[in-house]
Chains A and B, each alone.
Chain A
């Protein structure tokens, strides 16, 4: 038993010494809601270029994680995080409203067009994905659908709209069509057996495998299916003619003790190099700033959609009432 306890003590000694070197006074703590499979390589490149160690707390898919936005709000008075890399915009705006973010206008801020950043610099968007209608090309006849489709929906899937980009999608519908129309459609959709599934990844799988004819998801999930050789195509979701582009957003947390490193990371993430890397990743995220190098064909195809993208900032005021309604619905 003594040997076992000694081994554990030595193990903890090694672990704690490694951890303390990572979270030294210069090391940055980054909360990252973007998928680790794409974002970790970017953050490691920053480490290599600057020599600043980065400790990352990742968000997890669907229900398996308490949201990082919620965690940052809870930690507001005693922040541990220096930089927040969110994979959408409205949650970051909630942090801004709570006074949890610090304004910074560095070199990256200037690169990004006005609709995708806070004018005061509390947060800046980069590398967007789009909400899309993903269609299985084997399904016959090809489905016809509008923004709020009618008829049988038992072969149609959407993620539970309580989180992430699907929530943004619903808030957009709420704003454009009004609450009553959306509520009526939701009732109809559930009566018509619309599949509400835990996440966008599952929507992608249902459509890719032909279990559903089509579904609403994001471009990064669509491209996973496409790379797998699945029979799928996509159309951008258009609400009153406008596409829904959801950028990553990045912000410095108020109270950071590593301001200089945090600013360097913000500039790095908003750089052309990072946007290009994310465009060339399997997620094919669309750069918001000017990129001079050649982009992959899939990304080129999506670039025009940016011109008709909905301005997400005005949606923020509708998010809370929409979310309250969705919660009261007790979705299955």
Chain B
């Protein structure tokens, strides 16, 4: 084992030169490159953080805007609900009014229809009654009944009020037509002619004729007047009175 002084010294020099070369050409450039990259990374990271912060701010702003929009939407929904409720109330009131009017009209139509039906029923009842009475009176009619009616006629004629009698005065035609349903007996004819002459003041002549439509009774035709006492006339009066509206 030996030490070579030349090698020893030159090795020291060699290492120092190597140290200088490595420091000058390798370590410093490499450290500078690493530092530069780290700086770039830091800048990029800072830029990313700034971008992230900006994005966060934008997100927060968007969230605030969204909250505002939701608030406006809720308010609009509430306003719409209020308007819908008001409109619904108004439409319901309008519908109630229309329903009341329609109900009144329906009730009026029903009342009219009921009144019409009642009138129709009255007419039908009157017609049935008239038919029944006509048939029944036609079966009862006969010379005796007619004679009784003529007697009633003569009694009524004698009991005419003065005003009515004055109207009949002078209304006698040249020939007074006297119509009966049956052949009138001669004495009764004379009684009639005498009573008429008394009531009319004058009488030139009478012409008797028969009309079965009278059923029973007689009719006297004057100028502008008709004196009648017959079952047909009575039936007509019954029919007319039954069709007339009820009077309170």
Tell whether A pairs with B. Answer: no
